[in-house]
Structure 1
Amino acid sequence: MQFYYGNQMPLRVLDEAEFWKEQEAEHTVVMRELMSDLEKEYVEALKHWEDVLETTHQHVRRYVETVVRGNNQLPPHLYKQVLELISFCLQESVAFTQFCRKVKTESKAAENNSTARVVINHIIDESEYFIGIAQTILYEQNN
């Protein structure tokens, strides 16, 4: 993400969060489809993660609509809520990457599927990209 958006920054960071939450939700499906022999506990956990991530995605979309309707002018309390939402999204992505690492290292289905391990690494990398964006935004706003 570029950092020259000026007063468009709240909308830009929400746009990033919206995109990456949708991606993470889709990644849960990719993992389930890629490993047809995935253990039931991981299948169920991935379904739960899909629901959680989609809920966050929808929540972010509502904030995007609010910012757009407000012509990207946010009162301080709403701006604070946006930053809190981004912080939540960051923590959620950290937890999701931890879960993905667990699947990769503990699942027999992943152990026996080299393609799945490569894809899981890619999924982790993509979430880590968003985590980096969110951390940068939050750091910039706190200084």
Structure 2
Amino acid sequence: MQFYYGSQMPLRVLDEAEFWKEQESEHTVVMRELVTNLESEYVDALRRWEEVLNTTHQHVKRFIESVVRSNYNISPALYKQVLDLVTFCLQESVAFIQFCRQVKNESAAVKDNPTAKVVIDHIVDESEYFIGIAQTILYEQQN
């Protein structure tokens, strides 16, 4: 995590969310490309996840622009919206992890691909890392 933001918490947490939402979106492509014989239901679901994660990524980028343009004079309303967005991002990552685990455990194509299992575990680990960061920042804001 980049701690050079100091007291500029909204930008700090948004920077993390922006990076990890982009990563999760890219991970949907990695899974589709790695498992060439992946069942169509999972391919379709991964495409939907990619779209959803890209939308969230763009939403986070808009909030970053709002914070920067405000000259870091964050109104209480914008601050609450940032925390709500981070909470949403965290929940979205939890759901994405559940989906990745479902693919790993239920896809016949993945069961026969040890490399895919390792990569999916890595993808899950990265999303869990973001969740840890988000929870820490959200917890700090409550104290």
Do the structures match in fold with TM over 0.5? yes
Q: Which residue of 2 aligns with 1:57?
A: 57
Cα distance between partner residues in 2 of 1:29 and 1:4? 31
Q: Provide structure 1 residue ranges, at least 5 long, that are not aligned to the other structure.
A: none
| 1:18 maps to amino acid | E
Aligned residues with identical type, % of pairs: 75
SS of equivalent to 2:7: helix
Distance in 2 between residues matched to 1:2 and 1:43, nearest whole Å: 34
Contact 1:7/1:72, CA 8 A, preserved across alignment? no
Deviations 1:44-68 (A, max 9, x none): 0000000000000000000000111
Which residue identity does 1:11 align to in structure 2?
A: L
Contact 1:22/1:53 (8 A) holds in 2 = yes
Q: Post-superposition shift, 1:7? A: 2.0
Residue 7 of structure 1 aligns to a residue in which SS? coil
Alpha-carbon offset, residue 3 of structure 1: 5.0
Tell me the residue number matched to 2:72: 72
Name the TM-score, length of structure 2 as normaliser: 0.97
Q: Which residue of 2 aligns with 1:97?
A: 97
Q: CA deviation at 1:9?
A: 1.4
Amino acid across the alignment from 1:55 = T
Which letter maps to 1:44? D
Spell out, residue by residue over 1:95-114, the C-alpha distance to the aligned partner (whole angstroms, 9 max, x if none): 00000000001101110001
Give the count of matched residue pairs: 143
Structure 2 equivalent of residue 107 of structure 1: 107
Aligned to 1:34: 34
- Secondary structure class of the residue paired with 1:127: helix
| Structure 2 portions without partners, runs of 5+ | none
TM-score (norm 1): 0.97
